[in-house]
Structure 1
């Protein structure tokens, strides 16, 4: 499910009119109000009054369940979030809750985001989102974005002078999943400058050609 800020409302802090947001919880209060818990522009996952938004996609992916809360409100949540202490644990950086959130977010991204939106992330300066998307694509073994990841890796190699970098390593790990001529050419190019390389990248490339 995705929502977008209504163009008739006063601009909200950390929300953009041209951005659509994935909904991670739909809460209904005893007084009849509805709140959408979304990840805002500041990467904070917080509830907002549903009246602020238009629904641009109402499909709920995966198993959702109704969770009754102690304050007489109820919430519709993905199955991974279906225990009363989930959000408290999430905000306290509990590993189990964070892992569950990342799993759900990846599933929703794959289901909801258009190809151009994923490309925009890969071409952005948002390193956290790039890292998340690269790992999502690795888990899904999705070969749709080979060209964009090659371009990202080329730029990153130059900017970081072939130094070890988590984003660059993850990009190489993604590319190493696929036997494809553009990947082959890119990795051959890396080997021609191997004196500038680093051990982790070289190991990924060596394993690629050895397999």
Structure 2
């Protein structure tokens, strides 16, 4: 489930009007055969996964079928993505225990893959949240989606021009190296020509690309 913030009358600090959020868990009641949602647990702007009142949001996508519903009292139900629906998951996640972090990322990826459109992915790749961009590019590698090649090249060129090398560039290079194309060839040749820039990890990705 994906939801959009449509109201922040209480000026909560960690949600933004018109921004889209992912729902990992929530609660609802059933009245006259219809679900009435009253709580969504989302990853907010601060990166915390906490519950919010549904009055701040509207549902914009509800295509993912991997939520498990559980009756918690009378006509009240909880729904949780199945990858994170096991007992004590949230306390384990906060303590970074067991496989909880990996399970959370897998739930996030599953929801993104079924409910996130290409336009939103494009905005994330262009945006300044490096970890979110990294996550989306890794997801696109798994789906063999090549429609963001030019945008990733522009991003890489900008970072190299500004000498803003970071750990996320490795994911960008891995994404590009997955697709044989003239524009990727040119970008990697340009990268190799800038001998004072880059690092061993990026070099290895480029060399392996040309030696496929």
Q: Secondary structure at the match of 1:171?
A: helix
Does the alignment pair 1:116 with 2:116? Answer: no
Q: Deviations over 1:103-158 (max 9, x none)?
A: 11122223222222222212222122122222222222221211111111111222
2:62–2:115 Cα contact (<8 Å) kept: no
- Residue 144 of structure 2 corresponds to 141
Structure 1 unaligned residues grouped into runs of 5+: none
Does the alignment pair 1:93 with 2:67? Answer: no
33, 41, 48: which is aligned to 2:45? 41
Richer in strand (by share): 2
Tell me the distance in 2 between the aligned counterparts of 1:33 and 1:63: 18
* Structure 1 residue 9 displacement after superposition: 4.1
Does the alignment pair 1:16 with 2:43? Answer: no
Tell me the distance in 1 between the aligned counterparts of 2:144 and 2:98: 25
1:67–1:83 Cα contact (<8 Å) kept: no
122, 131, 150: which is aligned to 1:128? 131
- Residue 190 of structure 1 corresponds to 191
Q: TM-score, normalised by structure 1?
A: 0.86
Structure 2 unaligned residues grouped into runs of 5+: 30-35
Q: Which moved more, 1:1-10 or 1:198-207?
A: 1-10
Classify 1:196/1:146 alpha carbon distance in 2 versus 1 (closer, same or farther; 3 Å): same
Q: Deviations over 1:53-107 (max 9, x none)?
A: 2222232x1422124569x964211111121211111111225111111111122
Q: Secondary structure at the match of 1:100?
A: helix
- Residue 102 of structure 1 corresponds to 105
Poorly superposed stretches of 4+, deviation over 4 Å: none
Q: Secondary structure at the match of 1:187?
A: helix
Q: Deviations over 1:162-201 (max 9, x none)?
A: x5x3111111111110011111111111122235342211
Q: TM-score, normalised by structure 2?
A: 0.85
Tell me the distance in 2 between the aligned counterparts of 1:201 and 1:20: 33
Aligned length in residues: 206
- Residue 78 of structure 1 corresponds to 81
Tell me the distance in 1 between the aligned counterparts of 2:66 and 2:102: 17
Q: Which moved more, 1:198-207 or 1:8-17?
A: 8-17
* Structure 1 residue 52 displacement after superposition: 2.9
1:149–1:171 Cα contact (<8 Å) kept: yes
RMSD: 2.5
Classify 1:27/1:46 alpha carbon distance in 2 versus 1 (closer, same or farther; 3 Å): same
